[in-house]
Amino acid sequence: QVQLVESGGGSVQAGESLTLACSGSRYFGSDYCMGWFRQAPGKAREGVASIFNGDGSTYYPDSVKGRFTISKDSAKNTLYLRMSNLKPEDTAIYYCAADYAYNSATYCVSALTQVTFNYWGQGTQVNVSS
């Protein structure tokens, strides 16, 4: 059974930075896509970053572009999300996820925007105060 475990959440002030980590119980190969999502109270879950393992291409929605950076350490089966210049509206539970991407970076982006990843972590809380 695949397990994804997030860590690194916490409470910060607006403008500060935070890095989340996601440790996987297995190696996800080049056909897979990894992503970060968030869900704020009363709102739908939304994708904030994805990386296609096949070519390392990344995608960010406009809401976080330029502030969030997704990266991975394949040797450690670990995914990261570096969040800079955090805003109160970034407050949410953050989840990491993985999905089989059929060797397609386009599929990876679509799966992020439509929130259709198959494997999910339990989430880590991020609170940003003004």
Residue 63 has pLDDT above 90, yes or no: yes
Predicted pLDDT at 27: 87
For 23-36, how does the pLDDT look when each residue is reduced to its tens digit (9 = 90+)?
A: 999 888 899 999 99
Predicted pLDDT at 2: 84
Q: How far is CA 58 from CA 3, 7, 15, 72, 109, in A?
A: 23, 21, 23, 11, 8
Predicted pLDDT at 7: 97
For 66-89, how does the pLDDT look when each residue is reduced to its tens digit (9 = 90+)?
A: 999 999 998 999 999 999 999 999
Residue 59 has pLDDT above 90, yes or no: yes
User: Which pair of tokens denotes residue 30?
Assistant: 């080049």
Residues in the chain: 130
Number of Cβ within a 10 Å radius of residue 67: 16
Average pLDDT value for the chain: 96
Query: Of 120 and 29, which is predicted with more confidence?
Result: 120
Average pLDDT over residues 3-7: 96
Predicted pLDDT at 103: 86
Rg (CA), the chain: 14
Burial-class residue 92 by CB neighbours within 10 Å (0-12, 13-18, 19+).
buried
Q: How far is CA 5 from CA 15, 22, 83, 121, in A?
A: 26, 5, 18, 5
